[in-house]
């Protein structure tokens, strides 16, 4: 997980693209949570699920603020650093490629389809 790269990647997007990424990350986190919670119960699984909930509680208000045109939200670099902190704190780094990279891949695919 390269925070600096993630901040640069996110910061260069248009506002609507940022909303799409944030919502896609949130959706992908729910898929990961479902898989984690299907595993045999363990304290690690519960901590990871709590971490995903905390991440969603950071990104969803930011997405809503962007949709509403409000400036009352975390700046891009702070938001992405908070999200990275939560991924690390809750042992979620292995899921960054699926969640973060997957969200960007989906965005790039939809942009390419709209240009056809």
Q: Which helix (H) or strand (E) holds 50?
A: helix 43-68
**Bigger pLDDT: 80 or 111?**
80
pLDDT tens digits for 27-79?
999 999 888 888 777 777 889 999 999 999 999 999 999 999 999 999 999 99
Taking residues 99-114, report their average pLDDT.
78
Q: What angle do CA 29, 87, 112 make, to 5 degrees?
A: 50
Query: What local confidence, expressed as pLDDT, does residue 100 receive?
Result: 94
Mean pLDDT score across all residues of the chain: 90
pTM score: 0.87
């Amino acid at each position: 997980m390269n925070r600096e790269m993630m901040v640069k990647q996110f910061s260069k997007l248009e506002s609507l693209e940022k909303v799409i990424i944030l919502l896609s990350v949130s959706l992908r986190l729910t898929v990961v949570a479902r898989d984690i919670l299907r595993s045999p119960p363990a304290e690690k699984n519960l901590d990871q699920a709590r971490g995903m909930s905390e991440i969603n509680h950071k990104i969803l208000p930011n997405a809503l603020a962007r949709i509403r045109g409000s400036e009352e939200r975390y700046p891009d670099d702070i938001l992405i650093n908070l999200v990275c902190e939560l991924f690390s704190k809750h042992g979620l780094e292995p899921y960054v490629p699926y969640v973060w990279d997957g969200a960007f891949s989906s965005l790039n695919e939809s942009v390419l389809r709209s240009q056809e």
